[in-house]
Amino acid sequence: MPETALRTGQGGTDRLNRPRSSVTTSAHGQVEGEPLIDLTQVAYSYGGAELFSDVTLALSPGSFHFLTGPSGAGKTTLLKLCYGDLVATAGSVSIFGTDSRRMTRDDIARARRRIGIVHQDCQFLDHLPLRDNVLLPMTVSDRQDEGESHVDDLLAWVGLGGQSGLLPPQLSGGERQRAALARAVITAPDVILADEPTGNIDWDMSQRLLNLLVELNRLGKAVLVATHDLNLIRAAKPQVSARTLRLRNRRLQTAGADL
């Protein structure tokens, strides 16, 4: 793991449905930090129909969550609320201590520098080599020199050190997913949000991507992974203390022992 690329954060566990005023410690004895992203009794409606309601979720430093549920339940929408791409119909979403409703476009842009987002479709600029694509978040925020100092280490960390000069169409599905993770973390974010990151790759590559996410979490990052892949969730159990949540019947529930 390139230490220059990824800041070490404060460890802790999540506080789902726990009183905001309580002070707790994790299983490792670490004092739990305040949530980085905090959803309180959130509802979202689309096209006049309520997608979900009464969702309460806290993403604290060092927490790891899986989010599952049927297609159309609202997993992607929930992630978009977490990074300010959508505004809740009811309830409140706090992003790094600020109510998302009061955030300007510039506020959201600054907040997203602290949030790494891995989209399922892994869109890249096909005319730029992989290295430049991974550098893009630093380029657009006028921090390219800073990114140049560790992009090669970051590409090596995700196993793509030898492919930095390739164009995106020359990469396999698994390579694109790992490149998307490298791009998401080049800004040294505090939160990683991944939307079906293993949906289009084989099991071995899914395991490798999971290992990278677990390593990020061990550095203190809050990680939220939306996935249909129950085998991936089961494979994570020996590696990380993760809470599995399920969106079902318009509510966010803690998944049972069947997972």
Whether 96 contacts 60, CB under 8 Å: no
Whether 16 contacts 245, CB under 8 Å: yes
| pLDDT for 103 beyond 50 | yes
pLDDT at 198: 87
pLDDT at 1: 54
More confident residue, 204 or 7: 204
Angle at 162 between CA 122 and CA 165, to 5 degrees: 65
pLDDT at 142: 87
The pLDDT-based confidence of 199 (bands split at 50, 70, 90) is confident
Cα dist. 244→39, 149, 255, 258 in Å?
16, 36, 6, 11
- Convert the pLDDT of each residue in 138-197 to its tens digit: 998 888 889 999 999 999 999 999 999 999 999 999 999 999 999 999 999 999 999 999
More confident residue, 231 or 8: 231
Length of the chain: 259
Domains delineated in the chain: 37-253 (3.40.50.300)
The pLDDT-based confidence of 24 (bands split at 50, 70, 90) is very low
pLDDT at 200: 79
The beta strands (E) that lie in 84-169 are given as 90-95, 98-99, 115-118
The pLDDT-based confidence of 124 (bands split at 50, 70, 90) is very high
| pLDDT for 29 beyond 60 | no
| pLDDT for 247 beyond 80 | yes
The pLDDT-based confidence of 250 (bands split at 50, 70, 90) is very high
| pLDDT for 25 beyond 80 | no
